[in-house]
Each structure stands twice: as C-alpha cells, then as structure tokens.
Structure 1
Amino acid sequence: MSAPIIIAVLVIVLLVVFFSIIPVGMWISAIASGVKISVFSLVGMKLRRVRPAFIVRPMIKATKAGIQVTSNQLEAHYLAGGNVDSVVNALIAAERAGMDLTFEQASAIDLAGRDVFEAVTMSVTPKVIETPQISAVAKDGIELLVKARVTVRTNIDQLIGGAGEATVLARIGEGIVTTVGSAKAHSDVLENPDEISKVVLEKGLDSGTAYEIISIDIADIDIGRNIGANLQSLQAEANTKIAQAKAEERRAMAVALEQEMKAEVVKAESEVPKAMAEALRSGNLGVLDYYNLKNVQADTKMKNDIGSGIKQYVDSKKDK
C-alpha cells in the first residue's frame, strides 16, 4: 500500500473520530442562533455523558425567546434527573404571561415531580375540575346528590410541598356536606344552590394546596333517599325487637317462677304423709279421723271429676 493511500486512510479515520467526539453540527447551529458555547464545552458534555442536543436545543430556544440561561445551569439540571426542555418551555410561557418565574424555581418544581410547564399553563389558563357526586343530608332527613365544577389555577409559590388536586376535591366535598347538613330543609338548598358556593369559598379550602380556587359552581343537584324516614323505620324496628326480647324475658321469668311455686307445692305435699304418720304415732290423730279425712278427699276428687266431665260435655255441645 502506497504512502498517499495510508495518509488518506489516516485522515479519514481522524475525521471520523473528530466528528464523533466533537458535535460540530450542533456547535454550528448554536453559533448561528446566537448561543455562545465553545467546542470544548460540547466535548466536556460528551465526556460527562450528557447528550449535547438536550442542552444546546433548549439553549437555542431560550435565547430566541430572550431568556438568559447558561449551559452550566441546564447541564446541572439534566444531571440531576430533570427535564430541561420542560423547564425552558415553562420559562418561556411564564415570560410571555408576565409571570415572575426564575430558573431556580422552575427547576425545583420540575425536580419535585411536578409538570412545571403544565403548572405555568394552568396559572395562565385556569383549569376546571369536576367533583364526583357528593351525598349530603339536610336537617329534614332528605339526601341531596350534589356535583360541582371547580375552577382552579396553579399557585406557583406553593407548588412545591403543596397538596394536590385530590386534596382540593376532598375539601370541597367536605364543605358541601357541611353546608347542606346545616340547612333546615332540602328545599332551601334547591332554591339557593349558590349559597353552597359562597359558604365553601369562604372556608379557604385552597389553603396549603398547590392551587388557588377561583370559583365553585354547582353543576347538578338531585334528590336522593329519605334518610330520616329510613332511620326512623330502622329505629322503630329495633325498638320492636327490644320490646319483644324484654317481653320474652318476662314470660320466661314468669314460667320459671311458676315452676318454682309448683315445686314448692309438691315439696309441701310430700311432707303431709310424714306429718300424718307422726300424728298417728303421737296419738294426735286417730284411725277414724284418718279414714274420715280420706273419705273427704275421695269425695272431693269425685266431685271434681264429675264437674270436669260436665264441663267438657257442655263445651262439646256448644261447639256443635
């Protein structure tokens, strides 16, 4: 192989290595867009495993929008795991809307896991969120099913660490339940649904959240169940069961008392033969007296049996 060919191959190899290490095309695009960045900075990004396109393109976008950011700021945010392009878009949107948003604020919001561009957009153009159907009961026991539309915008100052959309909806639901529950009758709420919005707004439900509530509008109110009547019915049923249980308890106690009394009678009757035997031995009762007593008992038993038979006969005649 001749020397010129070897030299040409070496030159080609050097050029390939040069263009693979140094993104010349990206550098030219940056210079043409007025972005001041050196070739050595691009090489340093390569060595730090930072894709130059993820830094240079947002810088070009920011420069064209008149926003001053440095490559070090964007690179540090990228290495921290942030979305550089979203931060730059948020800065541009904030600048166009006249909002005072710094790069440090935007990068902090992005690193906190929030969509900073969406937050700025919501701050400029409020968002409408709808609550699920909320069940509330007025003092007259009638259930109302309320659905509200809430207009909110982002509170940039409280976006980091502030509660989210779910908390806002939960607080609004709590406010609606409290307001309807304090109404004397459900008809009062149906006549003036705007009173719910006024009372809920006065409670400052957006405190400590990432949103600012602009308005609360009642979208729909439906009449649900008669909770009061249902509760009274359940209470009456419970009272009936309690009364039945107490009556059964009294009946059981009466039966037990009756059985105890019968046992006492049987016990007393069992003592009679012993007493008679003792009376005969002691001479207090003679044999003739004893036989007379037995005759009286037999006569009494016979009369009872005859009376019982007559009564059964009369009853059978009446049934026929």
Structure 2
Amino acid sequence: MENMGFLALIVFLSIVVLWFVFYFIPIGLWFSALVSGVRISLLQLILMRWRKVPPSTIVSAMIEGTKAGLTLNANELEAHYLAGGNVPNVVHALVSAQKASIMLDFKMATAIDLAGRDVFEAVQMSVNPKVINTPPVAAVAKDGIQLIAKARVTVRANIKQLVGGAGEETVLARVGEGIVSSIGSAVTHKVVLENPDSISRVVLEKGLDAGTAFEILSIDIADIDVGKNIGAQLQMDQADADKNIAQAKAEEKRAMAVAHEQEMKAKAQDARAKVILAEAEIPMAIAEAFRSGNLGIMDYYKLKNIQADTSMRESIVRSDKK
C-alpha cells in the first residue's frame, strides 16, 4: 500500500511538472509557427510567458501576416500588446488594407489603435463608405416659413486623419449648420422645395470634412417638411407686445390724469378752507373796529344791507338757472 501511494504521488508530481514545462515552453505553438514559415525562437516564446504576454496571440498574428505577405516583427507586436493595443485587430486591418491597396503601415495602424479608434473598422469604411443620417434640422427661409430637412451623409474614413481628427458628431454638426445657412439664405421656401439639391451643393462647397477623420463623398437631402409660419408668428407676437405697451402707456396717462384731478380737488378744498377761515375773522374785525371807533353803527347797517342785497341777488340767479 505504501508503494502504491508513493507511486501515485510520483505520477501526480510528474503531471504537474509536465504541465509547468509545457505551459512555459510552448513547444506546440513554436512548431506551428515553424511550419507556417514564421521564424521565432522557443526562448522568445518562454520570455513572453514571463512578461505576461500570451504567445498564442503574437504567433497567430504573425502567422496571419506572413500568409498575407506582410513582414511583422514579434518584438513590435509584443510592445503594442504591452501598451494596451489590440494586436489581432491591427493585423486584420493591415491585411485588409494591403488587399484593398490602401496605404497603411504598422506604425500608423498601431497609433490609430492606441488612439481608441477601431482601425479594422476604419479600413472597412475606406473600402465600403458609411451612410450617416442627420437628425431633423429646422431652418427658416427669408419669407418666414420654417422648413425641416433630413439628410444622408455618405462618408469614407480618412486614414491619415484618424489620429487627432474629429468624429461623426462634428460632421453632423457642420452639415446641420450648412443646411440652416443654405435654407436661411433662400428668398422663399418654395425655392428650396423646388430645388433641394441646391442645399447639397452649397453644403459640399464649404469643405465640412476639414480636420475630421472622414471624407464626405455626398450629401443627399432625404426629406423636407414645411413647418410653422415663423414670420407670421413673430409679427403676431410683436403686435401683442405693441398692444401691451400701448395699454401700459394709456394706463399711465389715466393714472396721471386721476392724480392731477385729485391734486386740483385738494387745492380747491384748501382754497375753500382759507375762505372760510377768512370769513370767520370778519365778525372779529367788525367788533374790533367798533371798539376802536373806526366803524359806526350806521356803517354797520349799510354793510348788513349790502350783504342782504348780495344774498338776494345770488338766490335769484340760482332760481333762474333751475
């Protein structure tokens, strides 16, 4: 029993050692590369394991490139992998570019990949252009009629501008700006409806793809709808504003007239009060004149007669008016 247990332990340790050896010494992978025409040493594959680089990824990429007629360097592929790049995607892009006669070298492909763009998709877009649909763009012609346009922009990837070039959002924004400018410069909305291709010509002449990662091949107006009569709406809003201003000014004048009337009434009341005060001082003045001898009894009777005559005349006048 002890011999069997010892034998089983030896077998287990042998299996572990063999797995360890074949893991760090990928003989099968090295042989596959050798028969595929890829010259890579077994020591280099072992060192890849130590540097945490999967040898299968590098060897598969080199086999693909070699079969396609490319000359790839294992150290450059390994460096790109360690930099966080997508090695298989870069090799796919290089093979596709070679087949499509597109000028793309390894340095440019790795730069595009490390910039965060899909270099293989970019090569495919260079061969097969992409159609981008713009969102509805609303603009107003000079006659005040709103038009809502939709466009289809056919673009092709510009390999040289993929690093540092603007994306689809910039292209859509520039196309939308060009559509607004073109419709806004039209004399009437009917001109745009009759010749929608005029928008495409004007927009294409602006060179909207400058500084972007794409080359605009064509801009086609897919649909144009007539929207609101913005000019009439603005005139109505202006009329309402003018009416409100006129009403405010009229209310201001009315308030000023009321205030002036109240002021005049206050002045009249003040004048009547002064008259009443003055009339109240007359008996006192008469009494003082009697005491000082400046007024006699006959003078006083004459004054009373004049007052009575005045009152009678005023009563006659009031009765005649009635």
Separation in structure 1 between the aligned mates of residue 229 and residue 9 of structure 2, nearest angstrom? 96
Task: Determine the structure 1 residue equivalent to 2:153.
Answer: 150
Task: Determine the structure 2 residue equivalent to 1:192.
Answer: 195
Separation in structure 2 between the aligned mates of residue 297 and residue 81 of structure 1, nearest angstrom? 116
Structure 1: unaligned runs, 5 residues or longer: 308-320
Structure 2: unaligned runs, 5 residues or longer: 290-294
Superposed displacement of residue 287, structure 1: 3.4
Superposed displacement of residue 297, structure 1: 5.3
Q: Deviations over 1:238-289 (max 9, x none)?
A: 1111111110111100011111111111111111123334555267993343
Name which of 177, 180, 184 aligns with 1:181: 184
Task: Determine the structure 2 residue equivalent to 1:210.
Answer: 213
* 1:122 pairs with 2:125: yes
Superposed displacement of residue 28, structure 1: 1.4
Task: Determine the structure 2 residue equivalent to 1:239.
Answer: 242
1:246-265 residue pairs with structure 2 within 5 A?
Answer: 246-265=249-268
* TM-score, normalised by the number of residues in structure 1: 0.88
Task: Determine the structure 1 residue equivalent to 2:292.
Answer: none
Name which of 25, 42, 47 aligns with 2:45: 42
In structure 2, give the amino acid aligned to 1:21: F
How many matched pairs?
Answer: 304
In structure 1, give the amino acid aligned to 2:201: K
The 1:98/1:71 distance shift into structure 2, 3 A limit, reads same
The 1:65/1:272 distance shift into structure 2, 3 A limit, reads same
**Secondary structure of 1:146's partner?**
strand
**Secondary structure of 1:61's partner?**
helix
Task: Determine the structure 1 residue equivalent to 2:91.
Answer: 88
Separation in structure 1 between the aligned mates of residue 314 and residue 247 of structure 2, nearest angstrom? 44
* 1:53 pairs with 2:51: no
**In terms of mean alpha carbon deviation, does 279-288 or 249-258 score higher?**
279-288
Q: Deviations over 1:223-252 (max 9, x none)?
A: 111110111111111111111111011110
Task: Determine the structure 1 residue equivalent to 2:101.
Answer: 98
Superposed displacement of residue 8, structure 1: 7.1
Separation in structure 2 between the aligned mates of residue 79 and residue 299 of structure 1, nearest angstrom? 124
**Secondary structure of 1:62's partner?**
helix
Separation in structure 1 between the aligned mates of residue 14 and residue 273 of structure 2, nearest angstrom? 136
Q: Deviations over 1:195-244 (max 9, x none)?
A: 10010001111111111101101101111111101111111111111111
Separation in structure 1 between the aligned mates of residue 262 and residue 125 of structure 2, nearest angstrom? 83
Percent identity at matched positions?
58
Superposed displacement of residue 26, structure 1: 1.2
1:270-285 residue pairs with structure 2 within 5 A?
Answer: 270-278=273-281, 281=285
**Secondary structure of 2:186's partner?**
coil
Separation in structure 1 between the aligned mates of residue 16 and residue 185 of structure 2, nearest angstrom? 83
Separation in structure 1 between the aligned mates of residue 319 and residue 89 of structure 2, nearest angstrom? 114
Task: Determine the structure 2 residue equivalent to 1:287.
Answer: 304
The 1:206/1:273 distance shift into structure 2, 3 A limit, reads same
Structure having the higher Rg:
2
Name which of 72, 77, 101 aligns with 2:75: 72
Task: Determine the structure 2 residue equivalent to 1:313.
Answer: none
RMSD: 2.3
* TM-score, normalised by the number of residues in structure 2: 0.88
In structure 2, give the amino acid aligned to 1:78: Y
Superposed displacement of residue 12, structure 1: 4.9
